[in-house]
Amino acid sequence: MLLRDALGDTLRDARTSQNRTLRDVSTAANVSLGYLSEVERGRKEASSELLASICEALELNLSDVLVTVSDTIRSGRAPAVRSRASSAEKMAANSDRRPSAPVGLDKNRVPRPVATGRTELRPRQQLRIVVPYEHPETPVR
């Protein structure tokens, strides 16, 4: 799984668990709707500044998103983001609206996406990291 795919899935799951539209989040993050859509689909890699802006618009801690993305890549499982408490309270206040995607609250009343099988559409690939290594006794060519 590529970093941009895991990041996009995590951001999209967080947005849909809050019942928010692309337009709403793109406006709050001051980014174009099309670009945000491409980031969510894993077609574009967001800069650190843009990612921070999107996380702020979603009321997520950037560090929590990065930990979630790291865990997702490591395990190959579907992402679930730990939102700030205010997001859980907003969701509880809007509980009369039907969510656009299945959502549950954990024991801390933090919204968590419920597995929908959407991530099953992507083939799972093992992460492979190649680190250049020079043996001290081998001359460089």
Three-state SS sequence of the chain: CCHHHHHHHHHHHHHHHCCCCHHHHHHHHCCCHHHHHHHHCCCCCCCHHHHHHHHHHCCCCHHHHHHHHHHHHHHCCCCCCCCCHHHHHHHHHCCCCCCCCCEEECCCCCEEECCCCHHHHCCCCCCCCCCCCCCCCCCCC
Is the per-residue pLDDT at 1 higher than 50?
A: yes
Range of the domain at 110: 3-121
Q: Give the residue-averaged pLDDT of 18-27.
A: 95
Residue 22 domain-assigned (yes or no): yes
Residue 18 domain-assigned (yes or no): yes
The reported pLDDT for the residue numbered 126 is 61
Per-residue pLDDT of 4-21, as tens digits, reads 999 999 999 999 999 999
Residue 13 domain-assigned (yes or no): yes
The reported pLDDT for the residue numbered 128 is 64
CATH number at residue 94: 1.10.260.40
Per-residue pLDDT of 89-103, as tens digits, reads 554 554 444 445 555
Residue 126 domain-assigned (yes or no): no
Which residues is 112 bridged to in the sheet?
Answer: 104
d(C-alpha 101, C-alpha 66), whole Å? 22
Sign of CA dihedral 119, 124, 129, 130: negative
Residue 140 domain-assigned (yes or no): no
Q: Give the residue-averaged pLDDT of 97-116.
A: 56
Q: State the total domains in the chain.
A: 1
The reported pLDDT for the residue numbered 119 is 47
d(C-alpha 84, C-alpha 111), whole Å? 9
Residue 84 domain-assigned (yes or no): yes
Amino acid at 94: N
Average pLDDT, the chain: 76
Residue 137 domain-assigned (yes or no): no
Lowest mean pLDDT among 23-32, 74-83, 119-128, 130-139: 119-128
